[in-house]
Amino acid sequence: MSLSSLLFFGFIAVVVIYAVVVYNGLVQLKHAVAKAWANIDVLLKQRHDELPKLVEVCKQYKQFEASTLERVIAARAQVQDARQQQDIGALGEAEGLLRQGLGRLFAVAEAYPELRANENFMQLQTRISQLENAIADRREFYNESVNINNVRIEQFPDAIVAKLFHFEAKPLLEFSTAEKADVDVKALFS
């Protein structure tokens, strides 16, 4: 075998090995994004299961504002629909509505000492707050995973392998302008 043939086969071997390494890295990123989404999904399911308990405790109090309760229930349904459809854009919007509804729910609880003093309500309120914090952390992790994936599939020479094997950019979980605005605490109490 001639030197030029050895060089040619050596070059081909290096290219194939590099393509395999890039492909495996892209697969790992794709699954990291899926895992990050699954982590959000688990927390949303937990919140979906626990919100009815909070609502039921609140229903027991006659003074409770029905419109606040209806907003929380409607927002919860929107989050569930977006989660099931894996519609990242709709999920961000529905999450904003749910967060606003929960803020009003907790503000109403502040206005009614009987409700605020109820041990079940306090436990559920604490749990919902813990879930909200965990969901926020998972959103950040999801967006970081998506960003790493999207940058990698656009970088040369990884973009060649990404296009060849149909690796696609994933959408970031974004929120509406209203959700990013400062919370008007005074309005929550009125």
pLDDT greater than 70 at residue 114: no
pLDDT at residue 62 in the model: 42
pLDDT, tens digit (0-9, with 9 covering 90-100), for 172-187: 877 666 555 554 545 5
| Full domain range(s) for residue 7 | 3-188
More confident residue, 127 or 68: 127
For residue range 41-83, list pLDDT tens digits in order. Answer: 887 787 777 777 766 666 655 445 566 667 777 777 887 888 7
* Residue 17 pLDDT level (bands cut at 50, 70, 90): very high
User: Does residue 121 surpass a pLDDT of 80?
Assistant: no
CATH, residue 153: 1.20.1440.20
Number of domains in the chain: 1
Question: Across residues 112-136, what is the average pLDDT?
Answer: 72
Token output for 102: 């929960």
